[in-house]
Amino acid sequence: MNETLSLALALATGASLGAIFFGGLWWTIRIGFRSKRPGLWFFVSLLLRTSLTLAGFYVVARGHWENPLACLVGFVMARLIVMRLTHVTETSSYRIREAGDAPYSR
């Protein structure tokens, strides 16, 4: 396979893995905090996201150091994109709690 095509494919795979990993993390946080068993959500999500990402990097590697490096660049790019898309501002549905809202404040 052409070297440039191989690196482009590794970059796209890294971006896809990053979107799944960080998008899944965002989704887990949204669902987990509303759940009655958030620890289970976070643990299972961590296992699934990490396993999928490591397996993807392993498949991309194929004995060349350039491919996982390109995959990592795509992964980090996806992280930046997901962070920008899921950025929470003060005007969003989340409200920052004030000190007076604490359960045991005096």
In a domain? residue 100: no
Owning domain of residue 27: 15-86
CA 74 to chain centre: 12
In a domain? residue 96: no
Helix (H), strand (E) at residue 41: helix 38-61
97's tokens: 């709690």
92's tokens: 């969003």
Cα 21 to Cα 73: distance, rounded to the nearest angstrom: 14
**Contact predicate 62/3, CB 8 Å:** no
In a domain? residue 20: yes
In a domain? residue 45: yes
pLDDT tens digits, residue range 55-76? 999 999 988 889 999 999 999 9
pLDDT tens digits, residue range 31-63? 998 989 999 999 999 999 999 999 999 999 988
In a domain? residue 50: yes
Total domain count, the chain: 1
In a domain? residue 103: no
